[in-house]
């Protein structure tokens, strides 16, 4: 049974500390993969000066728990940590951290990507970006939906992706 | 004298906000009729004295009735923007209601003319009530005049209008009605939600929260037509028609008790329903 933890917080995080915490006293972990998302100074508009993250207290945590649970069902994971910051952040600030630990690298890599893809499309967080030209709510991207859809099998979304893939094949043929 | 009661806006103010008498020259002549009522609450002994005819000022009810009729004819002298009317009928009835220690006054005014007669009926009922007070004040200074209102109105462009609800009692005896106009949605809403009545908590997030201008809303279950997400949306839109553009967006997501739902879903008392835009974390 794997360990995992979820935290929605305004404070920053220390990835070295978390990595050390995961491996401390264990010799069965063969791979630790981490993803850190940072605030960019450009997005839908240039010159992003800051962003404010809103979440749905309660639902956000349970949505993240649920995503990790799904990852644990797909891959043999020994530890998973997800930290997501909320409130006001400025360019360069770390915003999200996903760390996965497994005996083998492939499981750790895939699970980390899976958790990030699902987090971006299912966990209730919303970004509002502040620029020199005004504030705006960031819109959802189709590329994020497609990234999440690649993990789904036998659903409408996969069929959609598959039909796209077939189109591409058809063209190349 | 006016149909204005039933049409939105103040017809007695001109474009610059100045008081003005409505020009009814071009209005059609129709048969008009209005009924108004008022109540005078008094001590049981006072009422007894009036009913028995033992009052030293004589027949109180007869005098009040004549006073009401006379007043109806003078309405345009009292109410500044009221047209003078050639009334064809004025009737004032005073009915003692000993079981409730009060006298009920009903006034009816009729005319074939170009403007309504509810001001005349209200004036008749009011002055009949004042006359009752005047004649009885020596024996009872605690009398209360209340419940003065229009009950029914016929003729003119608003047709036949009848006051809704059981209004046989003065205002203070009926349940307090919620305020209807010129207040913030929360203020309209609060009085309707009585303590202990089942509600659903609705939450709004992110851009939607900013668009509707609030983050939470208590929806009373007993006002819903359907106990579903769609039913709640329908109720919210009935309260706030201007939310239509936000609340009907196809991309809008819905969660019931913090679980995403697709399409419509049932809801129960105490549920937490949330509406929000597509998520953009990470």
| Assigned domain for B190 exists | yes
Q: Are residues B135 and B192 part of one domain?
A: no
Q: Are residues B148 and B241 part of one domain?
A: no
**How does DSSP classify residue A7?**
E
**How much of chain A, in percent, has pLDDT values that exceed 90?**
79
Task: Identify whether the C-beta of residue B262 lies closer than 8 Å to the C-beta of residue B193.
Answer: no
Which positions of B are annotated as active-site residues? 134
For chain B, say whether A126 makes contact (Cβ under 8 Å): yes
Task: Identify whether the C-beta of residue B208 lies closer than 8 Å to the C-beta of residue B255.
Answer: no
Pick B280's closest partner by Cβ from A58, A116, A140. A140
Q: pLDDT (tens digit, 9 = 90+) per residue, B256-275?
A: 999 999 888 999 989 999 99
Question: Closest Cα to residue A126, out of A142, A137, A118?
Answer: A137
| Assigned domain for B140 exists | yes
Residue B58 is predicted with a pLDDT of 67
| Domain covering A3-140 assigned CATH 3.90.1170.40 in the classification | yes
**How does DSSP classify residue B9?**
S
Asked if B276's CB is within 8 angstroms of A124's CB, the reply is yes
Give helix then strand counts, H and E, for chain B.
8, 10
| Residue A2's pLDDT band (cuts 50, 70, 90) | low
Residue B198 is predicted with a pLDDT of 87
- Compute the distance between CA of residue B103 and CA of residue B95 in angstroms, rounded to an integer: 6
**How much of chain B, in percent, has pLDDT values that exceed 70?**
84
Residues of chain B contacting A144 with CB distance shorter than 8 Å: 282
Arithmetic mean of pLDDT, B118-145: 93
Pick B281's closest partner by Cβ from A59, A84, A137. A84
The domain ranges of chain A are: 3-140
Residues of chain A contacting B258 with CB distance shorter than 8 Å: 56, 58-59, 62
Asked if B205's CB is within 8 angstroms of A54's CB, the reply is yes
Exposure string over B79-95, b if 16+ CB within 10 A, otherwise e? bebbbebebeebbbebe
| Residue B9's pLDDT band (cuts 50, 70, 90) | low
The CATH number of the domain holding residue B214 is: 3.10.20.30
Asked if B277's CB is within 8 angstroms of A126's CB, the reply is yes
Pick A127's closest partner by Cβ from B260, B276, B280. B280
For chain B, the straight-line distance linking the first and the last C-alpha, in angstroms and rounded, comes to 67
For chain A, say whether B276 makes contact (Cβ under 8 Å): yes
Q: Are residues B214 and B83 part of one domain?
A: no
The CATH number of the domain holding residue B138 is: 3.30.70.640
Asked if B205's CB is within 8 angstroms of A137's CB, the reply is no
Residue A155 is predicted with a pLDDT of 44
Q: Are residues B113 and B145 part of one domain?
A: yes
Residues of chain A contacting B203 with CB distance shorter than 8 Å: 56
Residue A27 is predicted with a pLDDT of 94
Domain end point (choices B173, B197, B220)? B173
Arithmetic mean of pLDDT, A105-133: 96
Task: Identify whether the C-beta of residue B199 lies closer than 8 Å to the C-beta of residue B218.
Answer: yes
- Taking all residues of chain A, what is their mean pLDDT, rounded to a whole number? 88
- Taking all residues of chain B, what is their mean pLDDT, rounded to a whole number? 83
> What is the count of residue pairs from A and B with beta carbons less than 8 Å apart?
68
ipTM of predicted assembly, 2 dp: 0.84
Asked if A120's CB is within 8 angstroms of B282's CB, the reply is yes
Domain end point (choices B129, B152, B173)? B173
Q: Are residues B95 and B198 part of one domain?
A: no
| Residue A162's pLDDT band (cuts 50, 70, 90) | very low
Question: Which chain B residue's Cα is nearest to A38?
Answer: B282
Q: pLDDT (tens digit, 9 = 90+) per residue, B183-209?
A: 333 333 333 444 457 899 999 999 999
Domain end point (choices B117, B141, B173)? B173
| Assigned domain for B178 exists | no
Q: Are residues B202 and B155 part of one domain?
A: no
Q: Are residues B169 and B189 part of one domain?
A: no
| Assigned domain for B78 exists | yes
For chain B, say whether A120 makes contact (Cβ under 8 Å): yes
Total count of domains within chain B = 2
Task: Identify whether the C-beta of residue A96 lies closer than 8 Å to the C-beta of residue A89.
Answer: no
For chain B, say whether A54 makes contact (Cβ under 8 Å): yes
Q: Are residues B104 and B41 part of one domain?
A: yes
Q: pLDDT (tens digit, 9 = 90+) per residue, A123-150?
A: 999 999 998 888 999 999 999 999 999 9
Arithmetic mean of pLDDT, B243-257: 93
Owning domain of residue B220: 185-276
For chain B, say whether A143 makes contact (Cβ under 8 Å): no
CA of B220, closest CA in chain A: separation in Å?
Answer: 23
Q: pLDDT (tens digit, 9 = 90+) per residue, A75-93?
A: 999 999 999 999 999 999 9
Structure tokens of B27? 């209005």
Q: Are residues B12 and B136 part of one domain?
A: yes
Q: Are residues B159 and B130 part of one domain?
A: yes
Which residues 194-213 in chain B show a CB within 8 A of chain A? Answer: 203, 205-207
Q: Are residues B153 and B269 part of one domain?
A: no
Asked if B203's CB is within 8 angstroms of A122's CB, the reply is no
Residue with the bigger pLDDT between A115 and B248: it is A115
CA of B208, closest CA in chain A: separation in Å?
Answer: 10
| Assigned domain for B43 exists | yes
| Assigned domain for B202 exists | yes
Residue A165 is predicted with a pLDDT of 42
């Amino acid at each position: 049974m794997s360990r995992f933890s979820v935290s929605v917080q305004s404070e920053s995080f220390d990835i070295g500390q978390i990595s050390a915490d995961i491996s401390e006293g264990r010799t069965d972990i063969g791979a630790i993969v981490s993803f850190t998302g940072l605030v960019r100074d450009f997005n839908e508009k240039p010159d992003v000066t800051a962003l404010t993250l809103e979440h749905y207290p309660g639902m956000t945590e349970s949505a993240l728990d649920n995503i990790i649970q799904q990852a644990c069902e797909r891959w043999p994971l020994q530890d998973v940590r997800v930290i997501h910051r909320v409130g006001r952040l400025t360019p360069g600030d770390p915003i999200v951290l996903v760390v996965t630990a497994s005996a083998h690298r492939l499981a750790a890599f895939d699970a980390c990507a899976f958790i990030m893809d699902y987090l971006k499309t299912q966990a209730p967080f919303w970004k509002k970006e502040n620029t020199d030209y005004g504030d705006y709510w960031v819109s959802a991207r189709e590329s994020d939906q497609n990234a999440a859809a690649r993990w789904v099998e036998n659903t409408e979304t996969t069929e959609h992706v598959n039909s796209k893939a077939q189109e591409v094949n058809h063209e190349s043929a | 004298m006016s149909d204005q009661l039933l049409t939105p806006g103040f017809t007695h103010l001109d474009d610059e906000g100045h008081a003005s008498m409505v020009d009814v020259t071009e209005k059609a002549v129709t048969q008009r009729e209005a009924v108004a009522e008022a109540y005078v609450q008094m001590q049981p002994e006072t009422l007894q004295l009036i009913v028995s005819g033992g009052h030293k000022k004589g027949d109180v009810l007869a005098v009040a009735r004549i006073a009401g009729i006379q007043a109806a004819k003078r309405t345009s002298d009292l109410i500044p923007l009221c047209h003078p009317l050639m009334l064809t009928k004025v009737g004032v009835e005073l009915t003692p209601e000993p079981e409730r220690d009060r006298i009920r006054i009903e006034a009816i005014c009729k005319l074939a003319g170009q403007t309504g007669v509810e001001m005349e009926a209200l004036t008749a009922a009011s002055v009949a009530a004042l006359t009752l007070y005047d004649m009885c004040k020596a024996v009872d200074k605690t009398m209360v005049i209340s419940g003065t209102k229009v009950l029914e109105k016929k003729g003119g462009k608003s047709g036949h209008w009848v006051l809704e609800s059981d209004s046989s009692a003065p205002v203070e005896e009926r349940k307090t009605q919620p305020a209807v106009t010129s207040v913030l949605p929360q203020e309209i809403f609060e009085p309707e939600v009585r303590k202990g009545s089942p509600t659903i908590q609705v939450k709004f997030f992110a851009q939607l929260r900013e668009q509707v201008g609030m983050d939470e809303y208590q929806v009373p279950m007993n006002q819903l037509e359907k106990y579903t997400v769609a039913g709640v949306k329908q109720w919210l839109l009935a309260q706030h028609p201007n939310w239509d553009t936000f609340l009907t967006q196809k991309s809008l997501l819905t969660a019931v008790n913090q679980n995403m739902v697709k399409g419509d879903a049932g809801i129960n008392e105490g549920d937490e329903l949330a509406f929000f835009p597509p998520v953009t974390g990470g």
